[in-house]
Structure 1
Amino acid sequence: MAESELIAGTVSVTDEEKTAQAAISSSPGSDSDVGHTQTWTEEEEKAVVRKVDRTVMPILMLVFFALQLDRSNAGNALTDKFLVNVGITQNQFNIGTQLLNAGIVLLEIPSNLVLYRVGPKAWIGTQIFLWGLVATFQAFQKGLGGYLSTRLLLGLCESGFIPGSLFTISQWYRAHELSRRYAFFFLGNGVATAAGGLIAYGVLHMRGIAGLAGWQWLFILEGIFTILTGVVFVTLFPGLPSNPISFAGVSYFNDRELFILRQRKALDDPTAGPLHRRVSWEDIKVTLSSGKVWLHVLLTTVGLAPSTALWSYAPTIVASFGYNTLASNAMTSVGQWVSVTLVIIGGFIADRWGRRGFFVFIAVFIEFVFTVAYKCLPDHAGRSTKFALLTLASATCSWWHAAHGSWLAINARTPAERSIRMALFIMAANCAGIVGGQLFRSDDLPYYHRGWTIAVAFMAFSVAVTLALLVLYALANKRIKKEVDHNGTIVDKDGQPAASVAVKLYNF
């Protein structure tokens, strides 16, 4: 289906489909003035969307940029005697990576529930300052205990930001606008990953200044940058369309613009319920009982696991080809910049095409091909060939992630369900970090044959899971359409016409 489609009727299929799809089309807006008739011009709507693009998106992208720097700079630190200075081994470093992701997983849903209750302005602002302080002072860690506790604490403080931001974005935009906005949001992550190597190349040369190692300066400077982004967020971020005024009193939208923002969301999905300030047990039950949601979780976990390993070890892998250790940080960024470009292109394709599931399938398959190609390289292959295929493998290792998130989000039937789905989605991404954190181990050096074999298996499984999702969505829509007759009504178990309600078909 090119876009989400509304048909009349109710559904008597699975519990998931009955609860999620059969929503009476009453006024769903968060405000009493929201109805179902468009009363504005196309030019007015475009102007409002552009204003959202200029205010909401850049701030969230900036914070995501800072978060990714703080999460990934330990990989760059490996090229500056980090293991020796701290006093840990490579396998212990992997455990720390797993603990960071475990910390995020532990508090992902609780953090998102708090955000849903108090709003993104207060909760995300608090989080930024907390993880910024941890990121800064991790420069002074020493020993295994200090390293592991710092990694865990950083993950706990960062939990909830990404799904909370995805949920916030979904409240500002319509379904057909969402994939590219998710792509732009993840652009903050991609640019940080790509620029991180270049930044590290410069900062790591500061070793010896004030008696500190280069990796210590890397943590200090990037941690302070995060705290500064927190100041920007608290001062300027408008929050949600229901009350878009920053803590500093900055207001971006007039009453007419706010009316358009709220009503166009109601027109976009008449089956959606209102945005309450709490998540009910029913919302949680519906989400957790969905088999399709769990397949999305599985795809995210298995499909992103190789990318976690690649982003952590790409600099050292490139250095093993015979390149300078510090220069390898900058060289690694080539694939990451290509990945940034692909993420944006993918977001536009997914929105324009409308078939997000098919796009994800194609993108995951391309990643599988390049992973297999690198795995099949002989050990004696030239370093230029190795670098080229590693670059292609890393460039495509997560470019489908943003479109996948929008695919999962737009099939939610209520804001509360969407909030839980986004929390599960990012929990799965961090579970991928836990799994991928042990993909490349010291006993598999220098070629990581076992690690690459596992990566190939993971990507083959990801292709299969994506295909299974497409089949399940198609079958679910077929069941729904079969229940609805040509008059837009269905018959109940007694053969009588059922009440006419709005039903939303799945988007895939």
Structure 2
Amino acid sequence: MADEKQLEKVTASSVSQSFTDDDGQEITWTEEEEKALLRRVDFLIMPLLILGFFALQIDRGNIGNAMTDFFMQEVGITQFQFNIGQQLLSTGIVLLEIPSNIILYRVGPTLWIGCQILAWGAVATFQAFIKGKGLGPYLTTRLLLGLCEAGFIPAGLYTMTRWYKRSEISRRFSYYFLGNLFAGACSGLIAYGILHMRGIAGLSGWQWLFLLEGLFTIVVGLIFIAFFPQSPANPRSLIAGKSFRYFTERESAILQARVFKDDPSKLQPRQNVSWGEVKDTLTNWRILPHFLTTILGMASAHALGAYAPTLVIGFGYGRLQSNAMMTIGAWILLVLNLLWGWLADKYSKRGLMVFLGVLGLWVFQLGNRLLITSPNRDLRFGFLTMATAFMANWHAVNGAWLSLNARSAGERSITMAIFVMGANIAGIAGSQIFQAHDAPVYRTGWTIIVALCSASLFMSIVANAQYWLLNKFQKREGEDRYKY
């Protein structure tokens, strides 16, 4: 019996797959060979993309920690003006999201993403020197930060679709968002330590926060440019000599062939996104439910990202302690993000996982609204923690779901840009949810959040329903055309 099982294992590993390219050349490989290459791809590109996302979220979100260290008072701005700055950051990202991915399509990820990281790292660092400068410099740095960050997330998402098959992509998108979530989980702890540096060299704690984390990002940008491969067809870094390749020519051919065989729409015959592809994407009504689910659901995530430590202070906990406490929900979110991506790929149920994630968000945000006058601070903190845990665990799966239903490589690139635009439009709305006149319980703010999450839940149902109906009436070769 043991010998039979061993024979089955050997036979399975030696099964050959093949692909014939446009020149009529047949490429053949075994499943065992493909699995070994996939592991190498994971260890090569995913850590660098995750590290870049970690730096992005640290620089984007550390202003919430700075607020607990008298940031607004020392810069010389009001809470309303602070919210405007957050809106400008999201606006900058929205403005350049699509142009950025068009440039990515032509220039390639190594140079374009690497330069983006260096650019926003420089802006993030110089935020340390706006103390006492008032509204103008604050608004300028937030807008510049958004403009420099524009395109990084969809660029990473699109780049992964060039390396991975459809059955592998939800998990990899979830791995990618680990950088974002790990930053959220660590930022409060990091800030707790750095903010204690207040007074060293005459700087405030928040100044040290921007300075150290901005310099870290610049180092990340240099590492990315030095080591990230340009493409499966050209698996070299920019600084390596022409003789050095991460993969042999045969391995590179297999990496391309296995992806094209799985999804022919990933063939990229041109160096530019065509205007026809841009037009087709912008008029693709199937994107709309995904887009609205993202905007409506992620608005509360942006609100909590900036105000969660301040809300915890309002519950009666310590000023610096609040930064560390809010990392609990972020760590739970990190685990749920991985679980959602794994389940989505394992069972091929992306739409269901998006719905369940948004449902969890709605439940806990409703709890936050109902508890605004509760004297039980621990219960309020518990619901806030769980709302944080569900605020984005479905987001990466939603992006993978969109990617799988794109009809060409160019359309996929623009679709990923539109997807992330939705998340940043949510930032524009979410930044104004909590207002000073509504403090300290934020009755109106929490009511708006519940309304937005309710609408997001409804749109996730619409997204699922549209693909079910389309597959019911449009069959291609006996298989469902659309993935849900």
Superposition TM-score tier, normalisation by shorter sequence: over 0.9
Task: Report the 3-state secondary structure (helix = DSSP H, G, I; strand = E; otherwise coil) of the residue aligned with 1:325.
Answer: coil
Partner in structure 1 of residue 41 of structure 2: 52
Matches within 5 A, 1:120-139: 120-139=109-128
Partner in structure 1 of residue 338 of structure 2: 344
Partner in structure 1 of residue 283 of structure 2: 289
Q: Which has the higher contact order (CA 8 A, sep 6+)?
A: 1
Partner in structure 1 of residue 469 of structure 2: 475
Q: Distance in 1 between matches of 2:255 and 2:90?
A: 35
Matches within 5 A, 1:98-109: 98-109=87-98
Per-residue CA distance 1:347-390 (angstroms, 9 max, x = gap)? 10110010101110111111111111121115133111111111
Q: Distance in 1 between matches of 2:269 and 2:212?
A: 39
Aligned residue type for 2:326 = T
Confirm or deny: 8 A CA contact 1:113 1:279 kept in the other structure: yes
Q: Distance in 2 between matches of 1:298 and 1:477?
A: 22
Q: Distance in 1 between matches of 2:269 and 2:453?
A: 37
Matches within 5 A, 1:370-389: 370-389=364-383
Partner in structure 2 of residue 83 of structure 1: 72
Partner in structure 2 of residue 422 of structure 1: 416
**Cα distance, 1:252 vs. partner?**
1.4
Q: Distance in 1 between matches of 2:404 and 2:20?
A: 16
Task: Report the 3-state secondary structure (helix = DSSP H, G, I; strand = E; otherwise coil) of the residue aligned with 2:235.
Answer: coil
Q: Distance in 1 between matches of 2:267 and 2:143?
A: 37
**Cα distance, 1:251 vs. partner?**
2.5
Q: Distance in 2 between matches of 1:374 and 1:244?
A: 49
Partner in structure 1 of residue 135 of structure 2: 144
Aligned residue type for 1:341 = V
Write out the 4+ residue segments of structure 1 that deviate beyond 6 Å after TM superposition. none
Q: 1:215 aligns with which of 197, 206, 211?
A: 206
Q: 1:192 aligns with which of 178, 183, 206?
A: 183
Q: 2:193 aligns with which of 190, 196, 202?
A: 202
Q: Distance in 2 between matches of 1:131 and 1:272?
A: 30
Q: Distance in 2 between matches of 1:118 and 1:145?
A: 34
Answering whether residue 146 of structure 2 is matched by residue 155 of structure 1, we say yes
Closer, same or farther in 2 for the Cα pair 1:55/1:34, shift >3 Å? Answer: farther
Aligned residue type for 1:46 = K
Matches within 5 A, 1:189-338: 189-249=180-240, 251-338=245-332
* TM-score between both structures, scaled by the size of structure 1: 0.88
Q: Distance in 1 between matches of 2:72 and 2:62?
A: 13
**Cα distance, 1:239 vs. partner?**
2.2
Q: Distance in 2 between matches of 1:191 and 1:389?
A: 21
Q: Distance in 2 between matches of 1:415 and 1:371?
A: 37
Partner in structure 2 of residue 111 of structure 1: 100
Q: Which residues of structure 1 form unaligned runs of 5+?
A: 1-26, 490-502
Q: Distance in 2 between matches of 1:378 and 1:103?
A: 33
Partner in structure 1 of residue 83 of structure 2: 94
Partner in structure 1 of residue 394 of structure 2: 400
Per-residue CA distance 1:222-242 (angstroms, 9 max, x = gap)? 000000001110110002112
Q: Which residues of structure 2 form unaligned runs of 5+?
A: 1-18
Q: Distance in 1 between matches of 2:355 and 2:472?
A: 21
Which stretch of structure 1 is more off in the superposition, 162-171 or 245-254? 245-254
Confirm or deny: 8 A CA contact 1:34 1:266 kept in the other structure: no
Which stretch of structure 1 is more off in the superposition, 274-283 or 303-312? 274-283
Answering whether residue 431 of structure 2 is matched by residue 466 of structure 1, we say no
Q: Distance in 1 between matches of 2:336 and 2:385?
A: 13
Task: Report the 3-state secondary structure (helix = DSSP H, G, I; strand = E; otherwise coil) of the residue aligned with 1:204.
Answer: helix
Aligned residue type for 1:82 = F
Answering whether residue 60 of structure 2 is matched by residue 43 of structure 1, we say no
* TM-score between both structures, scaled by the size of structure 2: 0.93
Aligned residue type for 1:434 = I
Task: Report the 3-state secondary structure (helix = DSSP H, G, I; strand = E; otherwise coil) of the residue aligned with 2:432.
Answer: coil
Answering whether residue 351 of structure 2 is matched by residue 357 of structure 1, we say yes
Closer, same or farther in 2 for the Cα pair 1:415/1:28, shift >3 Å? Answer: farther
Q: Distance in 2 between matches of 1:277 and 1:34?
A: 23
Per-residue CA distance 1:317-362 (angstroms, 9 max, x = gap)? 0111111100100000000010011101111011001010111011
Closer, same or farther in 2 for the Cα pair 1:332/1:271, shift >3 Å? Answer: closer
Confirm or deny: 8 A CA contact 2:225 2:237 kept in the other structure: yes
Task: Report the 3-state secondary structure (helix = DSSP H, G, I; strand = E; otherwise coil) of the residue aligned with 1:439.
Answer: coil
Aligned length: 461
Aligned residue type for 1:457 = A
Aligned residue type for 1:212 = L
Aligned residue type for 2:367 = A
Per-residue CA distance 1:445-465 (angstroms, 9 max, x = gap)? 001111111111111101111
Closer, same or farther in 2 for the Cα pair 1:229/1:323, shift >3 Å? Answer: same
Q: Distance in 2 between matches of 1:28 and 1:478?
A: 32
Per-residue CA distance 1:419-446 (angstroms, 9 max, x = gap)? 0000000111100000000011111100
Confirm or deny: 8 A CA contact 2:372 2:443 kept in the other structure: no
Task: Report the 3-state secondary structure (helix = DSSP H, G, I; strand = E; otherwise coil) of the residue aligned with 2:169.
Answer: helix
Partner in structure 1 of residue 442 of structure 2: 448
Closer, same or farther in 2 for the Cα pair 1:231/1:32, shift >3 Å? Answer: farther
Confirm or deny: 8 A CA contact 2:471 2:480 kept in the other structure: no
Closer, same or farther in 2 for the Cα pair 1:473/1:34, shift >3 Å? Answer: farther
Per-residue CA distance 1:201-257 (angstroms, 9 max, x = gap)? 000000000000000000000000000001110110002112110012153111221
Percent identity of equivalent pairs: 52
Confirm or deny: 8 A CA contact 2:181 2:334 kept in the other structure: yes
Task: Report the 3-state secondary structure (helix = DSSP H, G, I; strand = E; otherwise coil) of the residue aligned with 1:291.
Answer: coil
**Cα distance, 1:311 vs. partner?**
1.1
Task: Report the 3-state secondary structure (helix = DSSP H, G, I; strand = E; otherwise coil) of the residue aligned with 1:63.
Answer: helix
Closer, same or farther in 2 for the Cα pair 1:275/1:200, shift >3 Å? Answer: farther
**Cα distance, 1:274 vs. partner?**
3.0
Aligned residue type for 2:103 = V
Task: Report the 3-state secondary structure (helix = DSSP H, G, I; strand = E; otherwise coil) of the residue aligned with 1:40.
Answer: strand
Root-mean-square deviation (CA), in Å?
1.6
